[in-house]
Structure formats: C-alpha cells, structure tokens
Amino acid sequence: MQSLIKAFYIAKKDARVYYFKAPNFTYGLLMPVSLFIAFSISGQISSSLIVSGLTSLVILFGTTSIEAVAVVLEKQTGTFERLLVAPVSFFTILFGKALAGLFFGLVLAAAVLVPLTVISGTVVANPVLVFIAITFSSLTFSALGVLISAYAKWVPEAQMLSNFLRFPMAFLSGTFLPLELLPAQLGIIARFLPLTYSVEALRISINDSAPTTTYLMDILILALFSFILLVSGSKVLQRRLE
C-alpha cells in the first residue's frame, strides 16, 4: 500500500513538472491528429472506427511522449537520482512514472473522444467499458514509453525511437482501416502490436453495451503487455544506470 501511495506521489509530481512541456503537445496531440486527418480524409471510414482509431492513436503518441520527457529529462538533469536514493523500489518509481502517463492518456483521450462523438453523432454504447479500455490502453503505452526511454539519453532520441514503433503500429493496427482488409501476413503482425487491442477494445465498447469475449481478451492482453513492458523497462533502466 505504501508503495502504491508513493507511486501516486511520483505521478503527481510528474504531472506538475512535465505535463506542460511543449513536446507533449506537438508529439502527443498535434502529430496523431494531423496523421489521422491526412490518411482518413479521402477514405470510407466508419464513425466508430474514426473515434476508436483516433482516440487510441492520441493515447499512444501522448503517453509515449510524456514518458520520453518524464524519464529521459529526469535522467539528464540528475533528478532521477533523487528518486533512486529514496526508500522506494525501482519498480515503484517506474510504476509512478507510468501512472503519470496513464492520467495524461485519460486527459488526452477525453479531449479527443468527447468532441469526436459529438461531431460524428456517435452514441457510445457503454461509457464504463470505454473508460476501462482507455485506462488499460494508457497504461500499456505508458509502459512502452518507459521501456523506450530506458534506452535513450536525450529527449529527441527517445522521440525518434518512439517513432520507429509508433508509425508502423499506427498503420498496422487497424487504426485507419479494419484489420480484415489487411493482407494476411500483416494481419498476423498486427496481433503482436498492443495498439491493435486498444483500437479493438475501444471500437467494441463504443458499439456494444455489454463486454464481449473479444473485449475481455483485449483488456487482458493489454494488462499483460503493461506488465511485461514495465518489468522489461525496469530491468533495462536499472542495468543502464549502473
């Protein structure tokens, strides 16, 4: 319990210090929105796919961007040391960082989802399921951001590394067009990408009022991704800080 409280304090501090840094808005909000508009403007995309795709994309870009700032900048300025010498486990520190990303993801998702549903006239079938899907998506992508940031020395390097993953994921995860329309081999690759499950879970929760088996599986897989990514990030960062 003490660890969870301390993780929350770290998240609160990160929100205060890093949320309003410029890269979070350029990489986190403007880039995915522009990307989405550019690729969807001429296509025949259903409104639920637009809502789920763009929301997931914004969460992915937003949370990985905040982690790039919150982890790498702390390493750079030496403030990460302050956390390391405190009576807190390494995993708790990174969980706190991921929590900050999670909250940021929730804020960004709400900023995109609400106007999108109003404009497109989409009726959300089950807001609770949508909230759960956004929460697990945010946690997964934050954990991904932590892992990427563990390898980077500078913020631009972290952003560049993130883009290596973010762009292919954006095109292969059913964001711009349904997975069924992808060639078979790409469809298999898509199943290894967390964004696929985020888009799918969001689409289901927008359309269905009760959780389907696929939705529950998506949430479970996202939870699994979060755990694996966070543990890997913790191991990599610990090794690199030695």
State the residues that interact with another protein by CB under 8 A.
2, 6, 9-10, 13, 16-17, 77-79, 81-89, 242
Q: Which is nearer to another protein, 75 or 166 (CB)?
A: 75
Q: How far is the CB of 161 from another protein (least distance, A)?
A: 24
Angle CA(197)–CA(203)–CA(204) in degrees, nearest 5? 90
The CB-of-85 to another protein minimum distance in angstroms stands at 4
Closer to another protein by CB, 13 or 189: give it.
13
Q: Rank residues 2 and 44 by Cβ distance to another protein and give the closer one.
A: 2
The answer to whether 97 and 6 have CB atoms below 8 angstroms apart is: no
Question: CB 149 → another protein: shortest distance, Å?
Answer: 18
DSSP structure string for 133-166:
HHHHHHHHHHHHHHHHHHH-SSHHHHHHHHHHHH
- Name the token pair of 36: 């989405």
CB of residue 10 to another protein, shortest distance in Å: 8
Q: Evaluate whether 21 touches 70 at the Cβ level (below 8 Å).
A: no
Give the residue among 78, 140, 75, 100 at the shortest CA–CA distance from 19. Answer: 100
Q: Which is nearer to another protein, 25 or 39 (CB)?
A: 25
